[in-house]
Structure formats: structure tokens, C-alpha cells
Amino acid sequence: MPDGYDATMASWRRDPEAYWRLAAQDIAWSAPPQRIFDAAQGPYGRWFPDARLNMCHNAVDRHVAAGRGAQAALIWDSPISGGQRRITYAELQDATARLAGALAARGVGAGDRVIIYMPMVPEAVMAMLACARLGAVHSVVFGGFAAAELSARIADAEPKAVIAASCGLEPGRIVKYKPLLDAAIALSPHKPDCCLILQRDAWRCELEPGRDEDLLDAMAAAEPHPCVDRAATDPLYILYTSGTTGKPKGVLRDTGGYAVALHHSMSLLYGLRAGDVSWTASDVGWVVGHSYIAYGPLLAGCTSVVYEGKPVGTPDAGAFWRVCAEHGVKVLFTAPTALRAIKKEDPEGQQLRRHDLSKLEALFLAGERCDPDTAVWATRLLDRPVIDHWWQTETGWCITGNFRGAGLFPARPGSGGKPAPGYDVQALGDAGQPVPAGQSGSLAIRLPLPPGCAPTLFRADDRFRDAYLAAFPGWYNTGDAGIIDAEGYAWVMSRTDDIINVAGHRLSTGQMEEVLASHRDVAECAVVGVKDALKGQVPLGLVVLKSGAGRDEAALEAELVALVRERIGPVAAFKAARVVPRLPKTRSGKILRATLRKLADGEQPVVPPTIDDPMILDEIGAVLGIR
């Protein structure tokens, strides 16, 4: 790799195919790529079209063959259940081979789909790897999703098998998965042939005769299955995201390009090597969990932490720091929302100072934009690089970031960093032309997308083109709005549908949120556009206060209005801020701004299936006086 970020990017720009040919040398191919990119395949082209490999072999078996079998591959840490497990690469190889054998014995083969519906337990990662070993295509559905949402995914993917758990655990309660699975199968026109159920001690479920079997019993009785050779362009998994039509979009991930991109990113982006401990505090149901709990760390020969807990409340705001200290975590990757929750409960970092973080070298943030105040707070407390990086389910790995393996450049709190190799990112105007540096526009990536990005949607090439390529021909439309500044830093301010139009002025709600978050008493916030008969829309700020911030709410709201007026100006027409007890979020921590917007407009919002607690909407409605 060239020395330094600028040299790395220059190398990629000079000869993109040569750059990715070199990165591909780190993968164990059964048939190495002779062609690097074929522009004629798919909606925008395909990477490594003539190569063959197996993802599970690359993530597990080759490390055992290289003598790393005794090294921990996974560390499971569950403060909710009180359990911990260390699983070596050799143990993981045996488990994935037996689970692949159990699936094969039940008729699952290469190309068949398998739904995985599990909490944060090691068996979830084993199930993903077993599918990859067999050549089956897995689709992980976030554990605890309602029956209707799970049913929609079963109907679309048409799985031959389902791998699920009896239950998941949340602080103070058990979430029974099996009844949700039963209801989803009853609703779906497609019925899986079999269901393998992990029976958890917290709640053991009844099994449906003729369809359901105990997962661990099936594995114990199975013959280990070898890795099945697959084309690099064969699908590895489908990951569903919510679609605007109501039908979920099945983001398809290929095998070869994903393997190359993830392995490359582990060293280039995160600065990790074989033997290092990596912890991504997410869930396997989201793309972050796919890329950096299951596949990325194992491809690189790292140890990956699988955490069943929360940033606060299991048992306190020191939970993350405890895990880092106990397991020697080198790089922690989490969502800004988790960091804000910790900051709210422990603003002075008293819990952090109780733990030895000498092995922790960097904190990475993604999932939504990190406000500058939180980034500065974390940097001050940790005295380590805090790196915000921007990516999407569709891209599978970062679009922009800061690159420890190439030498860090100066951080800009609030920015997602600079583009990764493979991404030509520009802010485009409505006509599809790049706008001058520093001006806001629709953030887009010049085609082709790099290896690792979704080549299409499951059985829906036309839908992929319409959703991502049609708005700006020759570009992938990210759906995010922001700025590329004169130094090349990307500033992702909001989704394009979070741009509000105030009396003809296009304003970013993210910019206003940045101002509100800078107030000393604000833990987190959201700004949405509310319908206004005169101006079209006006902004409304909703803020959650830090613990112990005993303030007169009317006085605080006046301060916040004045602060936005001072920092952005009267053009923002920011005249309303309200203190709310909580903000509605998805289970992955993203604030549900579209839902808030409907609520503020007096409409009855459809309660999203991803919401962490529907009662929050009633609480906010009461504050706004509209419910």
C-alpha cells in the first residue's frame, strides 16, 4: 500500500483495476481473478467475474490451516444473561462445518436461501458462516422484528430453512422469538421446509412436529460439510431494508468483491491485523454486524467480540469500557447514539476512569452523523482518535472515513472524513452537475461502485436502477445531502428528504441539530420540518436533556432558539424547541425523523416495526399537545 492517504488515493485513481487486483491477492481463491471488472454485467458492472472462492474458507478454515486454530475467533459477552464464551478458530471451524452438514442433510444446497432470526449469540455468526460454507444465501432478520415484517421477508426470500432462537434478552424482559416466527410463517404464502431452533435457558419453546428441530441436537448429529466452491459473483447474502413502496428492498451482496473490500478495509481503515481484538457494538441483523462482527474481523484473522447488552443499563454507563478492558479491545466501533447515551448518564467520564483502556487505540462511529460536540467529548475523555465514518447498507463498507492504515489526517468533528479508495464522491446540484466546494448538494458516487457494494437488489435489477441510478445518470445516488469542502472532507448533514424548504430557502436539519447539540444541557436532539401555511415548512427542535440538568424548560427553549438564530441566522426561521423525555429510535439507534415529522404535522404516523419503544410517540405527542 502506498505511504499516506493522498498516495493511496492517487494509486487508486491512476489505475483502479490494478489497485483492486493487488488487494485481491490477500484472498484465498480457488480460481484467482483474471478479469477484475466487467462493465457489461448487472446494472453497473461486476467485480472479479471469472474468480472462484468460498467465504467461510477465507474467514475460518485458512486460519486453522495457518496454525491459528487455538486463537479466539469469537468472544461472547452477555451482561444480560451473565454469560461469556471464548470460541477458537478450530472450534468455529467444527461448528460451521457441522451446521452446514445439518442444513445439507435437510436439503439445503448452494443458492438456496436461509432466514436467520437470532439475538446476539455466537450461533448467529455460526449460522451465517455455515450458509457461506455451503453456498447457501443467508438473510438475517433483526431478532424481535414483528411477525408481519418477518413474514414479508420470508415471502420475498422464499427460504428453504429458518435458523432461529427460542428467545432474545432485553434488560428486565424476555423477547419470545418462536411465537413471532410461528405467526410469520402462518402469514407467509411461502413455507420453509424446516426450522432449526436454538433453545435458550431463559425460555425454552415448544417445537412444531415435522418442521422444527433443536439446533444443537441437529449439529451434534451432523457430518461436517466441506466448503463449497462459489463464483465471486454468486450472492453471499440478502439484507432487507425498508422500501418506499412498502415492500422491503433485498440488498444483495456478492461473495468475491465483498471479501476483497472487507479484508482490505480491516487494515486500511481500522488499522487491525491478525490476532487483534475487534469489537463492533452493533447487531448481526444490521449491515454493520454483517461486515464487522461476522465477516471482516474473521477474514483478517482477528478476534471479534459478540456483545449481548446495552451501552447503559447493563448495568451502567461503564459497560462498554468494561468490555474493552476485559477483552483487550484494540478498536471499538459503535453508533453515535450509543455514545450520546453514555454521555448523558456519565458526562464527566467517571465510569470510564474505572477501567484500564490501555489496549484501546481508536473509537469508530457510524450509523448516523456524529454531532461535533459528542465527537469532541469522546476525544477529550479517551485521548485517542475518534473517527466518524459514513457508509450505507448498500455499500457494505465505508464511503468516507479516516484511514489508520495509511496514516491519519487531521480530524474535523462533524465530518465523516474523506473518501475511501474506490469512491469518487461529489455533491451534485439538481441538474446532476457537481457544485462548488462548500456548497450543499445531493451526495453521489461516480460509477462504478467499488468492490463490496451491492451489485443489485434481490430479483430486482430495475428497482435497483430506479432507486439508485436513475436520478443522476452515471452516478449512484446515496440519498444523503451534504457538502464536500475545499480540502475534500465530506459533511453528511441529512437525508435528502430531511432538507426543509423555508420560504424558498433549502435548509439542512442536520446543521440545526449540530447547533442544538452544542448546548451544555442537551444530550441529544432532532430537528424536523413542520408544515406552515405561510413559509411552507418551519423547523421544530426536540431535545433530550442530560441527566441532572435541572432547568426551567421555557428558559432553556428560549436559549436554544437564540442559539440557532445566532449560529445560522434568521433565515432558519427557528422559533420552536421542546424538551421531550426521549426520542423514537430504531433498535439500531437511528432517530425516526420521518415518524417525528408526521407526528408534528398532526398526522397519525404508521408505527415503524423497527421502533425500540412505541410508547415514546405518545410521550412526545403529549409534550406537543397533539395526542
For residue 209, give Cα distances in angstroms to 129, 182, 195, 537: 27, 12, 10, 57
CATH number of 5-309+389-482: 3.40.50.12780
In eight-state DSSP terms, residue 165 is: E
Query: How large is the average pLDDT for residues 14-20?
Result: 98
pLDDT number for residue 627: 47
* Residue-wise pLDDT tens digits, 177-193: 999 999 999 999 999 99
Q: Where are the domains of the chain?
A: 5-309+389-482, 503-624
pLDDT number for residue 472: 96
pLDDT number for residue 6: 96
Query: How large is the average pLDDT for residues 370-393?
Result: 94
Q: H or E stretch including 616? A: helix 615-624
Least confident of 187-201, 333-347, 366-380, 504-518: 504-518
Residue in 385, 433, 430 with CA at minimum distance from that of residue 409: 385
pLDDT number for residue 244: 47
* Residue-wise pLDDT tens digits, 54-86: 999 999 999 999 999 999 999 999 999 999 999
d(CA 251, CA 233): 14
Query: Which residues, 6 or more positions from 79, have their beta carbon under 8 angstroms from its beta carbon?
Result: 308, 309, 314, 315, 319
Q: Are 528 and 516 spatial neighbours (Cβ–Cβ below 8 Å)?
A: no
- In DSSP terms, which residues pair with 30 in a beta bridge? none
Query: Which residues, 6 or more positions from 538, have their beta carbon under 8 angstroms from its beta carbon?
Result: 502, 529, 530, 532, 573, 574, 575, 576
Q: Are 475 and 404 spatial neighbours (Cβ–Cβ below 8 Å)?
A: no
The chain-wide mean pLDDT, for the chain, equals 93
Q: H or E stretch including 513? A: helix 509-517
* Residue-wise pLDDT tens digits, 325-334: 999 999 999 9
CATH number of 503-624: 3.30.300.30
Q: Where do the H-state alpha helices sit in 358-499?
A: 372-382, 461-464
Query: How large is the average pLDDT for residues 585-605?
Result: 81
d(CA 467, CA 503): 29
In eight-state DSSP terms, residue 16 is: H
pLDDT number for residue 498: 67
* Residue-wise pLDDT tens digits, 91-129: 999 999 999 999 999 999 999 999 999 999 999 999 999
pLDDT number for residue 265: 98
For residue 306, give Cα distances in angstroms to 78, 300, 341: 8, 16, 20
As a residue count, the chain comes to 627
d(CA 526, CA 513): 6
pLDDT number for residue 588: 65
Q: Are 137 and 111 spatial neighbours (Cβ–Cβ below 8 Å)?
A: yes
* Residue-wise pLDDT tens digits, 448-501: 999 999 999 999 999 999 999 999 999 999 999 999 999 999 999 877 666 676
Q: H or E stretch including 509? A: helix 509-517
Q: Are 115 and 139 spatial neighbours (Cβ–Cβ below 8 Å)?
A: yes
Q: What is the three-class DSSP state of 50? A: coil
**Got the DSSP string for 173-228?**
EEEEHHHHHHHHHHH-SS--SEEEEE-BTTBPPPP-TTTEEEHHHHHHHSPP-PPP
Residue 145: is its pLDDT beyond 90?
Answer: no
Which pTM was predicted? Answer: 0.85
* Residue-wise pLDDT tens digits, 238-272: 999 865 445 789 999 999 999 999 999 999 999 99
Nine-digit cell at 238? Answer: 440478502
Q: What is the three-class DSSP state of 159? A: coil
Nine-digit cell at 118? Answer: 437470532
Residue in 535, 533, 513 with CA at minimum distance from that of residue 593: 513
Q: How many Cβ atoms sit within 10 Å of the Cβ of residue 186?
A: 10
pLDDT number for residue 537: 79
d(CA 339, CA 320): 10
* Residue-wise pLDDT tens digits, 276-294: 999 999 999 999 999 999 9
Query: Which residues, 6 or more positions from 183, have their beta carbon under 8 angstroms from its beta carbon?
Result: 147, 151
Angle at 280 between CA 274 and CA 285, to 5 degrees: 120
In eight-state DSSP terms, residue 612 is: S
